[in-house]
C-alpha cells in the first residue's frame, strides 16, 4: 500500500491514528471559513474552574505620579485636553485604558484658574481626592468643593465639569466603569450646552439633605429609591471619624480592619450599580488574615504606611499610592503605622448578576 492510500480511508470512518490530527485540522479550517469553531479545543479556556483575570498586581507611587502629572501641565491645558488625565494602565493590558479587567483609572489634574468643560456620558465616574484643596466638581447643579480623602460621585449621564479657583494644583484619582460600559457596547457621550454649568445647590447640600437621617419634606423614599446615591460628595471630614470610631470600639474585621462601605443613604444599596467603595482604618501593627474575592480592586492609601502581600508580590504603600489587587488573588494587609485605605471595585455589578464570591 502506498503512503497516499493509507491517508485516505475509503469508508468515511476516522483513519489510523496518525491521520486523525490532519483530518481534524483540515476540518477546523473548513468550518472556520463558515465562522464556526470546535468547542472541544477551547472548552477549558472559556469555562475555567477558577477566575482567570488578565490584570496583574501593580502599584503607582504618588511621588512618581505627581511629578509626571505636573509635567503634563506644561504640555497641554485642561481646556485643550478636555480632561488632563494620565491613565493608570495595568501592565498586562497596555493600550486598553484599564486598571483592572472592568475598571478604568486615571490621575486628573486641574491647575489654578483652569476649568474642564461640562459633559455627560453613560459611564459613571468616581473621584478620590489626593492633593490640593478648593477645586470643585459640579455635578447636576451641585458644586462640590473637594479636599483630600473626599469621595465624589458622578453617576451615569450626570452632567459634570471641574474647576480650580484655588491657588494650588489639584490632583485626584478618577475611576470609571468604562471597560464595563464598552463590554456591553452601551457608551454614549455629549458635551453640555455650557462649558460651566449653572449651579443651584451649595457645596455639601446633597450630603446634608439626603445623608443625615432626614429628607427634604415632601420627598418620598420611593422617588429616591434608585440604583444610585443622591449624595455627590462623601467628605473625608465626615467618613474618617466614623472608621476611627469603629476602630476604637474594637469593631475590626480580621482581614479588612475597621471598614465602612459607602452607601446610598436612602436604600442602603451601593453608591452606583457598577461600582462600590469602602474606607478602612488599620491599626498600627495590623496583620490581616488572608482574603480573596472575585472583584478586582483598586486601593488608595489615604494615610499611613504598610504593605499588601499577594502570592508573588509585596506592594509596599504610603500616602496617596494607588494599587491593584486582581480578582481571586489571595492577599493580606500589614500596617506599619495607623493607616487608612480607600478601595473601589465592581462588586455591586457582580452581586447584581449573582456572580460575586469571597473566600479565605
Ligand atoms: O472627569 O469627566 O479620567 O470623562 C476620564 C473620562 C475623567 C471626567 C476621566 C472622563 C473624566
What does the pLDDT profile of the chain (360 residues) look like in tens digits? 444 444 455 565 655 667 999 999 999 999 999 999 999 999 999 999 999 999 999 999 999 999 999 999 999 999 899 999 999 999 999 999 999 999 999 999 999 999 999 999 999 999 999 999 999 999 999 999 999 999 999 999 999 999 999 999 999 999 999 999 999 999 999 999 888 999 999 899 999 999 999 999 998 888 888 899 999 999 999 999 999 999 999 999 999 999 999 999 999 999 999 999 999 999 999 999 999 999 999 999 999 999 999 999 999 999 999 999 999 999 999 999 999 999 999 999 999 999 999 999
Whether 108 is in the pocket of ligand 1, judged by its Cβ within 6 Å, is yes
Distance 124 CA to ligand 1 centre (A): 9
Grid coordinates 490632583 are at which residue? 171
The total of other beta-carbon atoms located within 10 Å of residue 213's CB is: 6
- How many angstroms separate the Cα of 291 from the Cα of each of 31, 142, 224, 354? 45, 38, 35, 20
Whether 85 is in the pocket of ligand 1, judged by its Cβ within 6 Å, is yes
C-alpha–C-alpha distance, residues 214 and 122, integer Å: 30
First to last CA, the chain: 63
Q: Are 334 and 309 in contact (CB under 8 A)?
A: yes
Nearest CA to ligand 1 atom 6: 83
Residue 278 CB partners (closer than 8 Å, separation 6+): 256, 259, 260, 261, 262, 342, 343, 344
C-alpha–C-alpha distance, residues 128 and 148, integer Å: 8
Whether 156 is in the pocket of ligand 1, judged by its Cβ within 6 Å, is no
83, 158, 179, best to mutate for ligand 1 pocket (most atoms within 8 Å of CB): 83
Distance 106 CA to ligand 1 centre (A): 8
Q: What are phi and psi of 180, to 5 degrees?
A: -70, -45
Nearest ligand 1 atom, CA 121:
4
Distance 105 CA to ligand 1 centre (A): 9
Nearest CA to ligand 1 atom 11: 83
DSSP code for 15: -
Residue 312 CB partners (closer than 8 Å, separation 6+): none
Whether 266 is in the pocket of ligand 1, judged by its Cβ within 6 Å, is no
* pLDDT score of 14: 56
Distance 280 CA to ligand 1 centre (A): 26
Q: Are 325 and 278 in contact (CB under 8 A)?
A: no
The pLDDT tens digits for 117-171 are 999 999 999 999 999 999 999 999 999 999 999 999 999 999 999 999 999 999 9
3-state secondary structure of 105: strand
Whether 313 is in the pocket of ligand 1, judged by its Cβ within 6 Å, is no
Grid coordinates 495595568 are at which residue? 90
103, 106, 232, best to mutate for ligand 1 pocket (most atoms within 8 Å of CB): 106
Distance 112 CA to ligand 1 centre (A): 18
Whether 175 is in the pocket of ligand 1, judged by its Cβ within 6 Å, is no
C-alpha–C-alpha distance, residues 114 and 162, integer Å: 8
* pLDDT score of 223: 82
Whether 171 is in the pocket of ligand 1, judged by its Cβ within 6 Å, is no
Nearest CA to ligand 1 atom 9: 174
3-state secondary structure of 126: strand
CB-based burial label for 264 (10 Å; 0-12, 13-18, 19+): buried
Handedness of CA 253, 259, 263, 266 (dihedral sign): positive
* Residues 58-359, CATH architecture: Sandwich (2.60)
* Among the listed residues 131, 127, 180, 106, the one whose alpha carbon sits nearest the alpha carbon of residue 348: 180
C-alpha–C-alpha distance, residues 52 and 49, integer Å: 9
**Strand positions, DSSP E, 69-211:** 85-87, 104-110, 115-121, 125-131, 136-139, 142-145, 151-154, 160-163, 170-176, 189-191
Chain CA centroid to CA 175, Å: 5
Delimiting residues of CATH 2.60.120.10 domain(s) in the chain: 58-359
125, 170, 175, 188, best to mutate for ligand 1 pocket (most atoms within 8 Å of CB): 125
CB-based burial label for 116 (10 Å; 0-12, 13-18, 19+): buried
In which element (H, E) is residue 17 found?
A: helix 17-33
* Among the listed residues 210, 207, 179, the one whose alpha carbon sits nearest the alpha carbon of residue 274: 179
C-alpha–C-alpha distance, residues 288 and 335, integer Å: 9
Q: Are 156 and 228 in contact (CB under 8 A)?
A: yes
C-alpha–C-alpha distance, residues 350 and 339, integer Å: 28
Q: How many helices (H) and strands (E) does the chain have?
A: 10, 22
Amino acid at each position: 500500500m502506498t503512503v497516499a492510500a493509507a491517508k485516505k480511508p475509503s469508508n468515511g470512518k476516522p483513519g489510523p491514528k496518525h491521520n486523525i490530527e490532519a483530518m481534524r485540522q483540515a476540518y477546523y479550517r473548513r468550518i472556520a471559513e463558515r465562522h464556526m469553531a470546535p468547542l472541544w479545543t477551547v472548552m477549558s479556556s472559556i469555562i475555567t474552574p477558577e477566575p482567570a483575570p488578565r490584570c496583574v498586581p501593580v502599584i503607582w507611587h504618588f511621588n512618581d505620579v505627581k511629578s509626571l502629572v505636573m509635567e503634563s501641565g506644561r504640555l497641554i491645558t485642561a481646556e485643550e485636553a478636555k480632561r488632563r488625565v494620565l491613565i493608570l494602565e495595568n501592565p498586562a493590558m497596555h493600550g486598553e485604558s484599564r486598571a483592572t479587567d472592568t475598571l478604568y483609572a486615571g490621575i486628573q489634574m486641574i491647575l489654578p484658574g483652569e476649568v474642564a468643560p461640562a459633559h455627560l456620558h453613560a459611564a459613571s465616574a468616581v473621584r478620590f481626592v489626593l492633593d490640593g484643596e478648593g477645586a470643585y466638581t459640579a455635578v447636576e447643579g451641585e458644586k462640590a468643593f473637594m479636599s483630600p480623602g473626599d469621595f465624589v460621585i458622578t453617576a451615569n449621564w450626570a452632567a459634570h465639569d471641574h474647576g480650580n479657583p484655588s491657588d494650588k494644583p489639584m490632583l485626584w484619582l478618577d475611576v470609571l466603569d468604562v471597560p464595563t460600559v464598552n463590554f456591553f457596547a452601551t457608551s454614549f457621550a455629549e458635551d453640555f450646552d455650557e462649558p460651566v454649568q449653572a449651579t443651584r445647590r451649595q457645596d455639601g447640600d446633597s450630603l446634608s439633605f439626603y445623608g443625615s437621617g432626614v429628607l427634604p419634606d415632601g420627598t418620598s423614599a420611593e422617588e429616591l429609591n434608585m440604583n444610585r446615591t443622591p449624595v455627590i460628595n462623601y467628605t473625608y471630614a465626615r467618613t474618617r471619624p466614623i472608621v476611627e470610631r469603629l476602630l476604637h470600639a474594637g469593631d475590626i474585621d480580621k482581614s479588612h480592619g475597621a471598614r465602612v462601605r459607602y452607601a446610598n443613604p436612602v436604600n442602603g444599596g451601593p453608591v452606583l450599580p457598577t461600582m462600590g467603595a469602602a474606607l478602612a482604618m488599620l491599626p498600627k501593627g495590623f496583620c490581616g488574615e488572608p482574603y480573596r474575592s472575585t472583584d478586582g480592586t483598586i486601593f488608595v492609601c489615604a494615610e499611613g504606611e504598610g504593605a499588601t502581600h499577594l502570592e508573588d508580590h509585596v506592594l509596599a504603600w504610603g500616602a496617596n499610592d494607588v494599587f491593584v489587587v486582581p480578582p481571586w488573588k489571595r492577599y493580606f494587609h500589614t500596617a506599619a503605622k495607623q493607616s487608612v485605605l480607600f478601595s473601589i471595585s465592581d462588586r455591586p455589578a457582580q452581586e447584581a448578576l449573582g456572580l460575586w464570591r469571597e473566600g479565605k
